[in-house]
Structure 1
Amino acid sequence: MSTTTSKIRSFNRFYTAHLDILSQHYLDSEYSLTEIRILYEISESKIITAQKITEILNLDKGYLSRILKRFLKENLIVKVASAEDKRAFNIKLSDTGNELLSILNTKSENKIEGKIEKLNTSEKEILVDSMNTVRNLLTENKIAREDITYRHEITPGDVGYIIYLHGAIYGKEYHFSSDFEKYVIKTFYDFLEKYSPEKDRIWMAEHNNKIVGCVAIVHQPDGEAQLRWFLLDPAFRGLGIGKRLLTDAVDFCKEKNFKNVFLLTTSMQDKALQMYKMIGFKLTQSEKVEEWGKTFYEERYDLKLSK
């Protein structure tokens, strides 16, 4: 068994025990967790077929059939003839079923509130963000573009986290030494010392209030601007985030009437180089260097905005 699998199984045991969901009678009711979940799905869909319930919850048809027969006997659900197929039936909650589910929902909410009442606001946010991360990683469709938000206001902790991302991602993908992180720290120190909101800007892409991508424009003498710190968390690539960040950065340069935008990068960053070229940057300098424990070509790309 892999370490990852072992840790996931360990967490599953902890979480099911923590929420006390293995009891035969969930929330001191006459019903199991599976039975309550079936009632919940019927409620959420307003009206649904037995086939759809089996697909959503991955239940055996025979097992579900026995549960639905019990629900009918106890007047928790009602069967409604399908308008499209007279041989088929839809299912919806009865007034009794709605009342039961309302009581159990209140009990569940109160129980969870009790579990997290000792957590402060920040800890609750971390908990919810972590749960969203697990859900996204284990869902086939993972992350949607509409789940990503963008901002350019710098708040406490932003720069520190962006520096961390640079060290972690470049260390893993390009095997740069810790000297690279020192370099990034220095560049941000210089940036913040001379920061001017009218001429400088950092754009951040976020998912669940966590920075997953960034880019910046830093003003330079003689009507030039430098594009810096373009970075994307590997888990969020392929969603158009990089294109959006670069487009916003170039549009800002045009708005501020910069004559030229340049960037310094390495020959190792193939995907980023493709994106730079797609929006019009052209290679103007290339020099072989040895830095951060690697040998590569340091390259300059320029994008002329006015003649």
Structure 2
Amino acid sequence: MKLDEKASKLRNFMALLSNYLNHIQKKMSGYPFNFNEIRIILDLYDRKTLTAVEIEESLDLDKGYASRLIRNLAEQEVIRKEQSEEDKRSFDLSLTSKGRKIAKELLQAYLNILERDLEKMNDTQLSELDMALSVIQKLYMEIKEQQDQDKEKSSF
């Protein structure tokens, strides 16, 4: 298969993935948060404390957009901002107790959606999906590592 055919196949996969993310987003529309706010909440739930820059990088969000999302979540008392002890120009972000409760609820809703979809598959399909996801994750991490190295080289 030629490189352009592979790129086209990847583009088609990305369209399917985007459609599936939209499906999840619609299923979670009963919550008063947009999808990227949910991503921030769940990222903080998993990793406990992050800076705005770490959130921007982790979720690949524009600095201004991430700032608005963070401000909105702080105003709703879902996250707290505390000045970093290591860098006074930076703030450490974490979930409030209200935020942790919301995160648990969001995570359970998210997992329920995924489980309902997975229940429609037989054992062979689940095994194939598991293998495919492992390969995709491995390849993505290799690509990301190369991108990070390229970024470091270009900053010199």
Shorter-chain TM band: 0.7 to 0.9
- Counterpart of 2:57 (choices 46, 55, 58) is 55
Alpha-carbon RMSD:
2.2
Secondary structure of 1:28 counterpart:
coil
Q: TM-score, normalised by structure 2?
A: 0.79
Pairing of 1:1-307 with structure 2 (within 5 A): 2-19=4-21, 20-21=23-24, 23=26, 26-140=28-142
**Which segments of 5 or more consecutive residues in structure 2 lack a partner in the other structure?**
145-156
Identity rate, percent: 30
Question: For the residues of structure 1 that align with 2:97 and 2:129, how far apart are their CA atoms?
Answer: 35
| Greater fraction strand | 1
Q: 1:51 to 1:22 in 2, by over 3 A?
A: same
Q: Deviations over 1:221-252 (max 9, x none)?
A: xxxxxxxxxxxxxxxxxxxxxxxxxxxxxxxx
Secondary structure of 1:79 counterpart:
strand
Q: Deviations over 1:13-55 (max 9, x none)?
A: 22332351454x8442122222111112222221111111112
CA contact (8 A) 1:42 1:93 kept: yes
By how many angstroms is 1:118 displaced?
2.5
By how many angstroms is 1:88 displaced?
2.9
Q: TM-score, normalised by structure 1?
A: 0.42
Q: Deviations over 1:190-242 (max 9, x none)?
A: xxxxxxxxxxxxxxxxxxxxxxxxxxxxxxxxxxxxxxxxxxxxxxxxxxxxx
Segments of 4+ moved more than 4 angstroms: none
Q: Deviations over 1:128-156 (max 9, x none)?
A: 111111111122279xxxxxxxxxxxxxx
Q: 1:87 to 1:2 in 2, by over 3 A?
A: closer
Higher RCO (Cα < 8 Å, 6 or more apart): 2
Question: For the residues of structure 1 that align with 2:29 and 2:107, how far apart are their CA atoms?
Answer: 10
Please tell me whether Structure 1 or Structure 2 has the larger radius of gyration of its CA atoms: 1
| Greater fraction helix | 2
**Which segments of 5 or more consecutive residues in structure 1 lack a partner in the other structure?**
143-307
CA contact (8 A) 1:16 1:22 kept: no
